[in-house]
Structure 1
Amino acid sequence: MVFKVYFQEKVTEVPVRESTNSIYIEADTEGEVRLKLKDRPYNIEYINPLQGAYLEYEKQSVNYKVLEI
């Protein structure tokens, strides 16, 4: 399954919409996503599982690239 992770670049940053970034990660569970990102200094805001039509919509985005971690 592919997950879209919304995050801030630094753990100390307060979540602000204008500075939120996102990445796509393939994993089986949300917990596995968190384990894959634990060595990065991200302040994870939200992890969204992508399925069906929503996944197809995201695939059309120019920023869609699943990270291999």
Structure 2
Amino acid sequence: MIFKVYYQESASEVPVRESTKTVYVEGESKRDVIKKIADRKYNIEYVEKVSGNYLDFEKQNEDFNVLEL
């Protein structure tokens, strides 16, 4: 499964919509994805499963890139 992770670069950063970034990660569950990126010290706001039409839409974005962890 592919998950879209919304995050801030630094765990000490206060979440601000304008500085929120996203990354796509393949994993078995939300918990698995969070464990995979824990070493990056991100301030994770939200993890969302991406599938079906939503995944097809996201793949059309030129920035779509799934992290291989």
TM-score range, shorter chain: over 0.9
Percent identical among aligned pairs is 51
Gaps of 5+ in 2: none
TM-score, normalising length: structure 2: 0.97
Q: Which has the higher helix share?
A: 2
Gaps of 5+ in 1: none
CA distance in 1, matches of 2:51, 2:41: 27
TM-score, normalising length: structure 1: 0.97
User: Over the residues paired in the alignment, what is the CA RMSD in angstroms?
Assistant: 0.5
Moved over 3 A (4+): none
* Equivalent residues, number: 69
CA distance in 2, matches of 1:10, 1:30: 20
